[in-house]
Amino acid sequence: MSALKQPLGVILAGGQATRMGGGDKGLLTLGGQTLLARVIDRLEPQVGSVSLNANGDAARFADFDLPVLPDSIDGFVGPLAGVLAGLDWAASQGADTIVTAAADTPFFPCDLVPQLLLRAEDMAHPLVLAATPDPKRGTARHPTFGLWPVALRDDLRAALTGGLRKVVLWTDQHDGREALFPDEDAFFNVNTPEDLARAETML
């Protein structure tokens, strides 16, 4: 790992899962385990500790024994609200950075955090998104998988309050980088029942 302190992990589960018919995608079962359990198992060894960004009744996640962080910006404004909740939590823990992972993406790389830290080594504000090769665009960024600095949390709060919603617009404003992962399927996420069926075959 780089000279940066070990980040804390934040699993983003604050969306409304409309394409799955609502509910919590992370609680869907894949190969006998919930998606969320699979994400925890991959992220936990890579970070100092893990929390979960989710809205509504936190009791439904009690079995996972994680801090549950609701969005501090109302109205389901997207993943940046979850990032902000994670940054505020990390600040209360005395941490400098967080790494986020989506609760519906069970196959992300087991070296996610080391690779993000490697790309951030000489940055004033370590801000890095995961990316994979894309035949049409060259690279595809995965905005729910990133390294985020606690130092920029008030800037992010102001941007969200001002109406900004798109992750890459904010990261580009702060010279965010990309960490390129070679496997195009590494960040495959479950949005629909068909995706869940495909994930079963990927196992």
Q: What is the mean pLDDT of residues 159-178?
A: 95
At 50, which amino acid appears? V
Residue 144 lies in a domain: yes
| pLDDT over 80 (residue 182) | yes
Q: What is the mean pLDDT of residues 34-54?
A: 98
Residue 1 lies in a domain: no
Q: What is the tally of structural domains in the chain?
A: 1
Tell me how far apart the alpha carbons of residues 102 and 144 are, in angstroms, rounded to a whole number.
6
Q: What is the pLDDT of residues 119-147, one digit of tens each?
A: 999 999 999 999 999 989 899 999 999 99
Reduced to 3 states (helix: H, G, I; strand: E, B; else coil), residue 68 is strand
Tell me how far apart the alpha carbons of residues 103 and 40 are, in angstroms, rounded to a whole number.
8
Residue with tokens 């989506």: 102
pLDDT at 76: 76
Q: What is the mean pLDDT of residues 24-33?
A: 94
Share of the chain above pLDDT 90, in %: 85
pLDDT at 14: 77
Mean of pLDDT over the chain: 93
Residue 2 lies in a domain: no
Residue 28 sits in which domain range? 8-202
Residue 16 lies in a domain: yes
pLDDT at 19: 47
Residue with tokens 């080594």: 121
Residue 164 lies in a domain: yes
User: What is the number of alpha carbons within 13 Å of residue 53 lying toward its C-beta?
Assistant: 34
| pLDDT over 60 (residue 62) | yes
Residue 3 lies in a domain: no
The answer to which of 3-7, 126-130, 178-182 has the lowest mean pLDDT is: 3-7
Tell me, what CATH number does 110's domain have?
Answer: 3.90.550.10
Tell me how far apart the alpha carbons of residues 91 and 189 are, in angstroms, rounded to a whole number.
29
